[in-house]
């Protein structure tokens, strides 16, 4: 893909963290061509993590309370904002088909369409059943989280646990049901998962782990859920938090290669000429370890956006960064960096009810960490991962700089 002088118009589809960061990075790198930013939502430029945190708890009343970017900065970027305007198709020769019959052209397109909430086949679409992806979802769920409401959260991943944290804080009788043995197991690993199981239960949330929901009761409004064990839980509100599916229809219809996400290379290029993709909708192509996993985090979206901007301008890719995510729940800030599942763990600082740092090792080399209210320690560990620190566990655990 050529340099900035060969690209007059870039069209970015999706005004989320991935799409907006792509636009901001293009401007930061000196691109002064036309940048169009499309989104079907009327007010899409809000922080998505706040949907399951501050917006759900009531700390923020609407999306304008948590903007992705300040209005003055957005104005200086001179973007063409096409909000409330759905892109219906992307065609050959750089054509975008828009709702209302309009067509626009762009030499380069960036697909940042994110994901859609996964809806299990055994769950009918009854009143009282919610998913959580947008600000509208958050406001509808917030109205349902009344004191005393019997809330069942289907899925004990990061979003499910954040929802449970908000629900129990609002006075709801809250239960998490998950087939996994520990909460957030895929995201934080076994050792940190055991810590969070204790934290969650001490906060008053009931955990039904190693269980799944077999069916839902209620003719028009949910009244209960039947577990795979046969037990019935009364339920006024069911929150489905079992992950997302890539919102890849636009690229799929155009013929992009897809395997549980739009397949992209190291430069965020799809199989379609002139079309890149970034964020939750993507999956890396084959590496020496096979197909890469989809990484549904803000950090990954931002990393890929910077890679895409560099690719569009014909520049060298930014230096690789360790993956990671953060979550605020049950009065604890959780930060994870690097690889944390299927690894050997050692406590750098055992969890004391408030703070703790768990290091993760693979083949006797540091590969990740999980921190509880320990942002400074995680920042230091991120730097070690960035430079490829190869010290064995016993040596790292004695490092005073890491332990301070």
Question: What residues does each domain of the chain span?
Answer: 4-116+244-312, 119-240, 331-403
The pLDDT tens digits of the residues spanning 327-340 come to 999 999 999 999 88
Stated length of the chain: 404
CA distance linking residue 401 with residue 404, whole number of Å:
5
CA distance linking residue 242 with residue 218, whole number of Å:
21
The pLDDT tens digits of the residues spanning 269-294 come to 999 999 999 999 999 986 655 667 77
**What's domain 4-116+244-312's superfamily in CATH?**
FAD/NAD(P)-binding domain (3.50.50.60)
Q: Would you say 109 and 90 are in contact if contact means Cβ atoms under 8 Å apart?
A: yes
**What's domain 119-240's superfamily in CATH?**
FAD/NAD(P)-binding domain (3.50.50.60)
Q: Is the pTM of this model over 0.85?
A: yes
The correct CATH number of 331-403 out of 3.40.50.720, 3.40.50.1370, 3.30.390.30, 3.20.20.100 is: 3.30.390.30
The pLDDT tens digits of the residues spanning 146-203 come to 999 999 999 999 999 999 999 999 999 999 999 999 999 999 999 999 999 999 999 9
Q: Would you say 139 and 62 are in contact if contact means Cβ atoms under 8 Å apart?
A: yes
CA distance linking residue 198 with residue 386, whole number of Å:
32
CA distances from 133 to 210, 242, 243, 245 (A): 25, 12, 10, 11
User: What is the H or E stretch that residue 244 is in?
Assistant: strand 244-246
Neighbouring residues of 125: CB distance < 8 A, sequence distance ≥ 6: 119
Q: Would you say 217 and 223 are in contact if contact means Cβ atoms under 8 Å apart?
A: yes
CA distance linking residue 117 with residue 119, whole number of Å:
6
- Quick check: do 119-240 and 331-403 share a fold? no
- Pairing mode, strands 213-217 and 224-227: antiparallel
CA distance linking residue 144 with residue 7, whole number of Å:
48
């Amino acid at each position: 893909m050529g340099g900035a002088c060969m690209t007059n118009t870039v069209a970015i589809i999706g005004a989320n963290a991935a799409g907006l960061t792509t636009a901001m990075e293009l401007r930061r790198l000196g691109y002064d061509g036309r940048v169009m930013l499309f989104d079907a939502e009327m007010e899409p430029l809000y922080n998505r993590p706040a949907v399951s945190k501050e917006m759900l708890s009531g700390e923020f009343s609407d999306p304008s309370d948590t903007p992705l970017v300040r209005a003055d900065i957005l104005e200086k970027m001179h973007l063409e904002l096409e909000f409330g305007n759905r892109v219906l198709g992307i065609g050959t020769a750089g054509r975008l088909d828009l709702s209302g019959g309009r067509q626009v052209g762009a030499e380069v397109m960036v697909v940042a369409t994110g994901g859609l909430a996964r809806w299990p086949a055994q769950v009918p679409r009854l009143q009282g059943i919610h998913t959580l992806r947008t600000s509208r979802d958050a406001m509808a769920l917030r109205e349902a989280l009344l004191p005393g409401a019997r809330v069942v959260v289907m899925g004990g991943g990061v979003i499910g646990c954040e929802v449970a944290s908000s629900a129990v804080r609002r006075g709801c009788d809250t239960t998490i049901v998950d087939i996994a043995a520990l909460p957030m197991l895929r995201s934080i690993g076994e050792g940190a998962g055991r810590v969070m199981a204790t934290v969650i239960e001490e906060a008053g949330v009931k955990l039904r782990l190693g269980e799944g929901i077999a069916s839902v009761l209620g003719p028009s409004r949910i009244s209960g859920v039947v577990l795979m064990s046969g037990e019935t839980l009364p339920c006024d509100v069911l929150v489905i938090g079992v992950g997302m599916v890539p919102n890849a229809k636009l690229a799929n219809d155009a013929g992009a290669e897809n395997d549980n996400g739009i397949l992209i290379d190291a430069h965020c290029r799809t199989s379609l000429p002139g079309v890149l993709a970034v964020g939750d909708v993507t999956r890396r192509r084959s590496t020496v370890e096979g197909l890469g996993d989809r990484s549904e985090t803000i950090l990954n979206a931002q990393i890929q956006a910077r890679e895409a901007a560099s690719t569009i301008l014909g520049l060298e890719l930014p230096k690789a960064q360790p993956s990671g995510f953060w979550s605020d729940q049950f009065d604890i800030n959780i930060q994870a960096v690097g690889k944390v599942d299927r690894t050997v763990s050692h406590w750098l600082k055992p969890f004391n009810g408030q703070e703790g740092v768990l290091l993760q090792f693979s083949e006797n080399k540091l590969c990740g960490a999980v921190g509880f209210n320990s942002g400074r320690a995680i920042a230091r560990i991120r730097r070690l991962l960035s430079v490829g620190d190869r010290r064995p566990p016993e040596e790292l655990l004695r490092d005073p700089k890491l332990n301070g």
